[in-house]
Structure 1
Amino acid sequence: MSNTAKYAASSIPAARIDWVDYAKGICIILVVMMHTVNGVEQVLDGMGWMHPVVDFARPFRIPDFFLVAGLFLGRSIHGPLSGYVDRKIVHFVYFYLLWLTLQFPVLHFDGMVEHPGYFVKMWLFSLVEPSNSLWFVHMLAIFYVVTRLLRNVPIWIVFAGAFILQSLYQLVIIDTGWGIIDRFCNRYVYFFLGYAFAPQIFQFAERAAKAPLIWLAGLMAWAVVNWWAVTLDLHEQVITSFVFGMAGATAVCVVSSLLTRFKAADFLRYCGQHSIVIYLTYVFPLVLMERFVLPKFGAPFGDIGLASALTLILAVGLPLMFHALIRGTALNFLYVRPKWASLTAKRSGKGRASLSAE
């Protein structure tokens, strides 16, 4: 193990870090907001007041999601292969296959009715090319495999390669038409930075919490610049997409650190602790609203923004309520990986009891 890797592993906190949960909570709500706002506006054929919020988050929504996902990888990347494969690959494969099977009949009901073999064909195709929002879970498993294979390569070489891939994607030089390849090229740099520079990120977040006034001023300046970048589509251009992605991810870290200091917005922290629960389940209340409620009743008071906000609340709240209700029941397998799906359960006597895989 290199000295850098040893430092990274030893500098990553062993306990749960509150600001990370806040950051996850912000990210998952922004992701669900994007899907709900776009879906509701399409159904109601109009644009609401939440649309600018979705646009504002475009530069950093997914970059921060992957950056945070890589923060704790240094704890285990140099550990035993069996444990790594179990926690970082099998873990996500289990939930991907399970929820792909559960979501598919809901998202593709018409296709299944018209073509009897549609489910099997598209289910198998989704193993290599995710066709719905579960692509994030699918991609995480790939990122963990690649990073394990590259763990002994100097950090700056991997970072340079990942940055070049992201730049080539933004230049449309890499445009294969395969989401799995294109998303990897566009997003891996953020995941790797979260892993490789985790100690520095944790130190930065700790310092930010100690100087709230300075960082609040910085956040206001960033918000203005970020909105300017969105209006000019700079978040979709080579180099500037990376710059504004990292700037936004930094801003989320600062906001999360400040929320931790002042013990504010505890609901965000709870959402972060159960971010994958929300991610796996939000499509069900969203589809209910899009296909049945909104087409029949329309927007409340004719306000599309209000319809989007209510749908967002349901898409975030109902999964959390459902998760709380089934905890410890026979349906626990939906959110807790059972022993039979674990490579290490027989030796440890325990199944994986979390979706975080940290």
Structure 2
Amino acid sequence: MTNSTQRVAWLDFAKGVGICLVVVYHTSEGTLNSFADVSGNITLVANYFRAWLMPMFFMVSGMLVRRSILQDDNAKLGNKLLDWIYLYLVWSVIIYLTRLLSNSFTNTHMQANEILHILWDPVPTIWFIYALLLSFAITIWVRHQSAPWVVGIALAVNMLNSLYYGWFDDSIFQRLAWIYVFYAVGFFYADSIRELLFASKESRLWILIFILMSPIVAFVKPYIPVYLLVFLSMVTVLAFLKFCISITALLPRWKMTRLMVYLGGISVFIYLTHFPFPAATRMLLLKLDIYSHGLTMLCAVLFAVITGHVASKLAQYRPVKFLFKRP
């Protein structure tokens, strides 16, 4: 595997593993909202993913858009912004209608007027697309500014948002204040991050390090001062990316590696279409008198992956294409 190919593979692998874990996280959040977590295990899982999962996606996204943004092709950048806006609006309506119609048999409690608030308060799960859109727009605006200044301001905003949580009243700006620093680090320091990640050749050791540090992150997160969580997130993200590099380097032909690389390539489709499955699988298993968090997570991931795969294929055809691509 060449270095160039390897870089594409590990980024796709990271997105593939990440999108499966997003489904696991949303399933665990739904479980916590519906049942008492007597053992505390589901809370640990949620704490672990809150620490680094979304920061990882935003850092990787920042790295991936660096070249296109720095080309200074304003027409192309404007079209990309319109693509994000279109995707956000279309799927906001889809998720809103689905949740509104399922109010009678789920605990979503979607209000009829929530669709009117999507400019500042996205409907559940779709906030990720809106935050990516805003991060992309901000980065276009500041792309030629000093990297330390931009990242420093983003870091300060993140820490202040953690200290004075509630300033933005749970709006998209609250999430953006938390997450943009990771996008900025990925964009402005993409080359440095790659150099750091590829500096060490001890692949097996890094796999072990990430596996061993994962339960530690889950246990210590609640005890770290909120304004320092950004640093825990950064370290965990970098360890995870090193883990992905190591797996793709050591096991490039392993079926699971290939699967995760493929899923990384269709991660947007999985993200957009996965929203019904955390609740649907939990309800289905309960109807069958099966109460298993692990099985619920596994089934949710399986359904989300299959649906995302089907959506990626259907998106090539005109009757469905408008759901995923601006006409």
Query: Is TM (by shorter chain) over 0.5?
Result: yes
Indicate the TM-score class for this superposition, using the shorter chain for normalisation. 0.7 to 0.9
Q: Which runs of 5+ in 2 are unaligned?
A: 105-110
2:259 is the alignment partner of 1:307: no
Query: 1:169·1:185 contact (CA, 8 Å) conserved in 2?
Result: yes
Q: Which residue of 2 aligns with 1:258?
A: 246
Q: CA deviation at 1:214?
A: 3.7
Aligned sequence identity (%): 21
Q: Where in structure 2 are the equivalents of 1:1-358 lying within 5 Å?
A: 17-40=8-31, 42-43=33-34, 52-78=44-70, 79-87=72-80, 89-109=81-101, 119=112, 121-172=113-164, 175-208=167-200, 210-220=201-211, 222-223=213-214, 225-230=216-221, 232-234=222-224, 237-239=226-228, 241-261=229-249, 262-263=251-252, 264=254, 265=256, 266-290=258-282, 292-299=283-290, 302-324=291-313, 327-328=316-317, 330-335=319-324, 337-338=325-326, 340=327
Q: CA deviation at 1:96?
A: 1.0
Query: 1:23·1:253 contact (CA, 8 Å) conserved in 2?
Result: yes
Whole-angstrom distance in 2 between the partners of 1:310 and 1:110: 20
Letter in 1 for 2:309: L
Whole-angstrom distance in 2 between the partners of 1:181 and 1:45: 30
**3-state SS of paired residue (1:77):** helix
Query: 2:168·2:174 contact (CA, 8 Å) conserved in 1?
Result: yes
- The structure number with the bigger radius of gyration is 1
Per-residue CA deviation, residues 184-224 of structure 1 (Å, 9 max, x unaligned), is 1111100100001111222233334x321342353355335
TM norm structure 2? 0.85
Cα separation, partners in 2 of 1:187 and 1:41, compared to 1, 3 Å: closer
**3-state SS of paired residue (1:127):** coil
**3-state SS of paired residue (1:283):** coil
Q: CA deviation at 1:287?
A: 4.2
Query: How many positions carry a matched residue from both structures?
Result: 312
Per-residue CA deviation, residues 4-38 of structure 1 (Å, 9 max, x unaligned), is xxxxxxxxx79971100011112212211111122
Cα separation, partners in 2 of 1:253 and 1:218, compared to 1, 3 Å: same
Cα separation, partners in 2 of 1:287 and 1:326, compared to 1, 3 Å: farther
Whole-angstrom distance in 1 between the partners of 2:20 and 2:232: 20
Query: 1:281·1:319 contact (CA, 8 Å) conserved in 2?
Result: yes
Query: 1:37·1:308 contact (CA, 8 Å) conserved in 2?
Result: yes
Letter in 2 for 1:305: G
Whole-angstrom distance in 1 between the partners of 2:315 and 2:277: 17
Q: Which residue of 1 aligns with 2:108?
A: none
**3-state SS of paired residue (2:69):** coil
Q: CA deviation at 1:144?
A: 1.0
Letter in 1 for 2:244: S
Name the one with the larger helix percent. 2
TM norm structure 1? 0.78
Query: 2:95·2:123 contact (CA, 8 Å) conserved in 1?
Result: no
Per-residue CA deviation, residues 154-203 of structure 1 (Å, 9 max, x unaligned), is 11111110111011011116622042221111111001000011112222
Cα separation, partners in 2 of 1:325 and 1:252, compared to 1, 3 Å: same
Whole-angstrom distance in 2 between the partners of 1:319 and 1:41: 25
Q: CA deviation at 1:82?
A: 1.5
Q: CA deviation at 1:138?
A: 0.6
Q: Which runs of 5+ in 1 are unaligned?
A: 1-12, 113-117, 341-358
Whole-angstrom distance in 2 between the partners of 1:39 and 1:63: 21
Letter in 1 for 2:190: A
Whole-angstrom distance in 2 between the partners of 1:57 and 1:258: 21
Q: CA deviation at 1:228?
A: 4.0
